[in-house]
Structure 1
């Protein structure tokens, strides 16, 4: 496995034990890959993490996913073995294949409604996290989004911050959570053309 280090071009395929455990090809700062980590951890499903440098990908990644994207989940117990891609499809598969601690509602109508909300909120939540991590306030140079006093954006975002704080207490989130400053530092290095994928590796 990659032991938290992101593997790049020229890196050999990691020596993963032949133990039948799922293999997740991931990137530590990718929100779509984070979805899959959260579901695996919430359902306490054993898995191996193999982190990929998406700027300079190892050649063997295309054997796992011809699109060269993450997340990609290799189901080693099945003939082939098959590799699933697309975070929402992976998460739905995991919820159905591992029924303990169900995450989707079992009622078909409620399940479809939740899936629709996930699709609709994807872009909205991305904007929310961008706003809530301090970068947008820093760009505006004001104490509030509305300026020197609260405005509509402040009031619309604030209820979500309460939910965000509650989510930080969830065991799966706690195991994978990173401070906004860390995420911002990764984005800064990427914007400079030298993305530091191993920012969280102590000896990087």
Structure 2
């Protein structure tokens, strides 16, 4: 089924269903995908309202002046920010023993350090490559290479035998690496062997499959980072 179209300044506010969780998203936004992954992982009943980020509805700006996605709303509750929402979903909707982010304060802190430091630098390097910035290779292989070292021989980043919070919070950017996607020239270099293995394993995960975007569609959207001509409603 095709995702809901992206609402623009011409669209009226869509009435809410009492009690139902709503996610304001953008279909191809990696930050929004973090929240969509967690909602899929936990099987949360929800609705998605896609927002055209180049022509936002005024009612969205009034609701969340920061004007970024994702934003989660449920009755009178409203949260913004991909990590805030993802952690909230994991904590509220997980059954006993099914948290993807460790409840142990130290392990949770280590995961959040990984995300804020190494993930942040690697994500910036991915955007440099998408924008075809000069000398992108140095930053890319330095910072994404750090992730490859961090992963090492582990199957997944937290050392578990299945994806956890640390993996899902990185996946939306790593999915653009590969022969069918926009960044098709980095994995064949042999410089990221552990990430190559991890990417293939992540593609097999049911949660990742549930949030899959066809590679040709994702590639068309990603080209906008270089051309500055973003296409919406590609599906």
In the superposition, the TM-score normalised over structure 2's length comes to: 0.69
Q: 1:27-66 to 2 correspondence within 5 Å?
A: 27-66=26-65
In the alignment, structure 2 segments of 5+ residues that lack a partner are 127-143, 145-173
Bigger CA radius of gyration: 1
Contact 2:175 2:199 in 1 (8 A): no
CA 1:137 to 1:70, structure 2 compared with 1: closer, same or farther past 3 Å? closer
Superposed displacement of residue 54, structure 1:
0.1
In the alignment, structure 1 segments of 5+ residues that lack a partner are 139-143
Contact 2:20 2:47 in 1 (8 A): yes
Identify the residue that residue 95 of structure 1 maps to in structure 2: 90
Contact 1:130 1:136 in 2 (8 A): no
Distance, in Å, in 1 between the alignment partners of 2:232 and 2:48 is 14
Contact 1:26 1:52 in 2 (8 A): yes
Superposed displacement of residue 14, structure 1:
1.9
Superposed displacement of residue 43, structure 1:
0.8
| 1:74 partnered with 2:109 | no
CA 1:169 to 1:71, structure 2 compared with 1: closer, same or farther past 3 Å? same
Identify the residue that residue 141 of structure 1 maps to in structure 2: none
Identify the residue that residue 122 of structure 1 maps to in structure 2: 120
CA 1:50 to 1:164, structure 2 compared with 1: closer, same or farther past 3 Å? same
CA 1:99 to 1:198, structure 2 compared with 1: closer, same or farther past 3 Å? same
What is the number of residues matched between the two proteins? 182
Deviations 1:49-103 (A, max 9, x none): 0000000111110122111111000122xxxx13111111111111222232311
Superposed displacement of residue 3, structure 1:
5.3
Distance, in Å, in 1 between the alignment partners of 2:36 and 2:18 is 19
Distance, in Å, in 2 between the alignment partners of 1:93 and 1:58 is 26
CA 1:67 to 1:157, structure 2 compared with 1: closer, same or farther past 3 Å? same
| 1:167 partnered with 2:167 | no
